[in-house]
């Protein structure tokens, strides 16, 4: 739901608004705030040059005011409450009611005027990442401007000179302000046909971000440098991330920007894609190659494109496996292979109902209704048509359907697999015994558990497949 700020003036939660005089605000375009974390339908341009709008995952595009041929936007930096997943809300800082802020969409050649109002308790600024612009519009506090003090509004103005995928974020107290969620996307569409930009049927965009929120709390720890525990797309974590939907045969573009403190190899199942652009602009066709994973480094954007020609529910996720999990204690010991049944019984005598975890892997945690502190997303969650998905964090699903209507972004539900196309259990075989933990096989008594009969395979260069067995003590 979109709300005008005016309809909320007077609410106790917006007391900070009074620091901006209403007379001064009257000359500015009304800031539009978003109260929902749902993906909003693409904003068809009501005026200006035509373009094919993007869909921001769990986000929206900022409406603008056209004034004397200039597109005017109004961003308000402010504390927000972001629902990161159903049942889990975080106290973040963002723009216009959400983190990330609204996507700015303009057309190559547009003159753009951006008002930035600061309703934070500290100074900020706005940097327009990747843009060609006059140096004084670059938004680096101290270097190209004084910081925007609380209660003040500054204005930036420049021409969107080249098409591409960009970002915006503060360049003042950056570590804290980005750890709190202050960022947004900027898309400059090409003016007419561009030799390196193909028209697409679906154009998705999201930012990679990361937070460190202690389970049971709601405000990120802002001094965290690397050890974040929530890996999100547009400040949402699976299963809170909307699916990406396509009609079979459509050309799909996905724009991904990274404002975390580490790289994310973004992997798509079932299709190959090309990287058709970066925040440096469109990639010439002759410089593209096929991929199924593209690494998006810190401060980079990657724009991937493919034909969604395979029907199904295809995972789209970061390939760092700890980035597809939600908050957990980092001090959990590895218990794989440890027989805890005896330990469990002994602890149960002291703590009724105690249950050990992880002795055969951690998948069991996806099936357990673990008692969680209030306001905490489960570590591995999401139910699929065949059981728990056991994922969190940077994970979503590309849903390709033959009968999805053009321009329809609604969730088509789970894929109905045609007969004979599903992996299946082989029936009629005896149950295989589960593997024994290696520590039950002590063959020797050497310190450190080194067995005597260790064999190594030596393959001589040039040998055609025949490996020689050499005893551990032979040389």
Only segment of 31-39, 222-230, 257-265, 298-306 that touches Cu ion (CB under 5 A): 257-265
Residue 179 Ramachandran class (φ > 0 left, ψ -120 to 50 alpha, else beta): alpha
Q: Count other Cβ atoms within 10 Å, centred on residue 104.
A: 23
Burial of 444 (0-12, 13-18, 19+ CB in 10 A): exposed
By CB under 5 A, the count of residues binding Cu ion is: 4
Closest approach, Cβ 267 to Cu ion, in A, equals: 10
Only segment of 244-252, 323-331, 369-377, 434-442 that touches Cu ion (CB under 5 A): 323-331
Closest approach, Cβ 322 to Cu ion, in A, equals: 8
Distance CA 400, CA 244 (A): 9
DSSP class of residue 22? H
Check binding of 267 to Cu ion (CB under 5 A): no
Closest approach, Cβ 256 to Cu ion, in A, equals: 11
Interface with Cu ion in residues 375-394 (CB under 5 A): none
Closest approach, Cβ 415 to Cu ion, in A, equals: 25
Judged by CB, which is closer to Cu ion: 318, or 397?
Answer: 318
Check binding of 246 to Cu ion (CB under 5 A): no
Q: Which of 5, 113, 302, 323 binds Cu ion (CB under 5 A)?
A: 323
Check binding of 264 to Cu ion (CB under 5 A): yes
Q: Which CA distances in Å does 222 have to 81, 92, 134, 168, 178?
A: 16, 11, 32, 20, 9
Closest approach, Cβ 316 to Cu ion, in A, equals: 12
Closest approach, Cβ 281 to Cu ion, in A, equals: 25
Judged by CB, which is closer to Cu ion: 258, or 404?
Answer: 258
Judged by CB, which is closer to Cu ion: 172, or 318?
Answer: 318
Judged by CB, which is closer to Cu ion: 139, or 392?
Answer: 392
CB 309 within 8 A of CB 270: no
Only segment of 69-77, 162-170, 210-218, 263-271 that touches Cu ion (CB under 5 A): 263-271
Judged by CB, which is closer to Cu ion: 107, or 318?
Answer: 318
Length of the chain equals 475
What are the strands, taking DSSP E only, across 136-259?
A: 153-159, 164-169, 184-189, 202-211, 230-233, 244-247, 250-258
Interface with Cu ion in residues 209-238 (CB under 5 A): none
Closest approach, Cβ 261 to Cu ion, in A, equals: 11
**CA neighbours closer than 13 Å in the CB half-sphere of residue 438:** 6
Closest approach, Cβ 304 to Cu ion, in A, equals: 15
Q: Count other Cβ atoms within 10 Å, centred on residue 228.
A: 22
Judged by CB, which is closer to Cu ion: 308, or 327?
Answer: 327
Check binding of 320 to Cu ion (CB under 5 A): yes
Q: Which of 57, 137, 318, 397 binds Cu ion (CB under 5 A)?
A: 318
DSSP 249-270: TEEEEEEEEE-SSS-EEEEESS
Check binding of 207 to Cu ion (CB under 5 A): no
Closest approach, Cβ 203 to Cu ion, in A, equals: 23
Chain centre to alpha carbon of residue 254: 12
Only segment of 60-68, 91-99, 232-240, 264-272 that touches Cu ion (CB under 5 A): 264-272
DSSP 375-389: S---SSEEEETTEEE
The secondary structure element, H or E, covering residue 291 is: strand 290-291
Judged by CB, which is closer to Cu ion: 74, or 264?
Answer: 264
Closest approach, Cβ 266 to Cu ion, in A, equals: 8
CB 257 within 8 A of CB 400: no
SS3 of residue 322 by DSSP: helix
Interface with Cu ion in residues 7-26 (CB under 5 A): none
Peptide bond before 208: cis, by omega within 30 degrees of 0?
A: no
Interface with Cu ion (CB under 5 A) = 264, 318, 320, 323
């Amino acid at each position: 739901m979109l709300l005008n700020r005016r309809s909320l003036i007077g609410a106790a939660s917006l007391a900070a608004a009074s620091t901006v005089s209403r007379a001064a605000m009257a000359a500015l375009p009304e800031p539009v705030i978003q109260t929902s974390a749902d993906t909003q339908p693409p904003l068809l341009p009501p005026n200006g040059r035509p373009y094919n709008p993007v869909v921001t995952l769990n986000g929206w595009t900022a409406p603008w005011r056209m004034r004397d041929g200039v597109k005017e936007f109004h961003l308000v930096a402010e504390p927000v409450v972001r629902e990161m997943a159903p049942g889990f809300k975080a106290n973040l800082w963002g723009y216009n009611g959400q983190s990330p802020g609204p996507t700015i969409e303009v057309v190559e050649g547009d003159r753009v005027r951006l008002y930035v109002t600061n309703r934070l308790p500290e100074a900020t600024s706005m940097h327009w990442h990747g843009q060609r612009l006059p140096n004084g519009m670059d938004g680096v506090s101290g270097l190209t401007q004084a910081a925007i003090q609380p209660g003040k509004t500054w204005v930036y103005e420049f021409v969107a000179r080249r098409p591409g995928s960009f970002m915006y974020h503060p360049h003042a107290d950056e570590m804290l302000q980005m750890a709190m969620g202050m960022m947004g996307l900027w898309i400059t569409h090409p003016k007419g046909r561009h030799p390196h930009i193909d028209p697409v049927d679906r154009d998705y965009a999201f930012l990679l971000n990361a937070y460190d929120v202690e389970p049971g709390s709601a405000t990120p720890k802002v001094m965290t440098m690397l050890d974040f525990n929530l890996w999100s797309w547009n400040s949402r974590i699976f299963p809170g991330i909307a699916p990406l939907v396509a009609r079979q045969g459509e050309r799909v573009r996905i724009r991904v920007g990274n404002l975390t403190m580490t790289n994310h190899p973004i992997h798509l199942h079932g299709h190959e894609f090309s990287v058709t652009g970066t925040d440096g602009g469109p990639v010439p066709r002759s410089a593209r190659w096929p991929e199924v994973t593209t690494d998006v480094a810190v401060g980079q954007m990657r724009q991937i494109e493919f034909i969604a020609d395979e029907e199904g529910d295809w995972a789209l996720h970061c390939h760092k496996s700890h980035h597809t999990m939600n908050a957990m204690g980092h001090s959990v010991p590895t218990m794989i292979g440890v027989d805890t049944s005896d330990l469990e019984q002994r602890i149960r005598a002291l703590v009724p109902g105690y249950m050990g975890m992880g002795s055969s892997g951690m998948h069991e945690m996806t099936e357990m209704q673990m008692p969680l502190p209030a306001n905490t997303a489960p570590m591995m969650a999401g139910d699929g048509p065949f059981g728990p998905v056991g994922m969190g964090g940077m994970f979503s699903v590309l849903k390709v359907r033959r009968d999805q209507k053009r321009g329809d972004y609604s969730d088509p539900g789970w894929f109905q697999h045609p007969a004979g196309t599903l992996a299946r259990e082989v029936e009629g075989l005896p149950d295989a015994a589960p593997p024994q933990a290696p520590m039950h096989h002590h063959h020797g008594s050497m310190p450190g558990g080194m067995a005597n009969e260790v064999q190594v395979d030596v393959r001589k260069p040039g040998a055609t497949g025949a490996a020689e067995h050499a005893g551990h003590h032979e040389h």
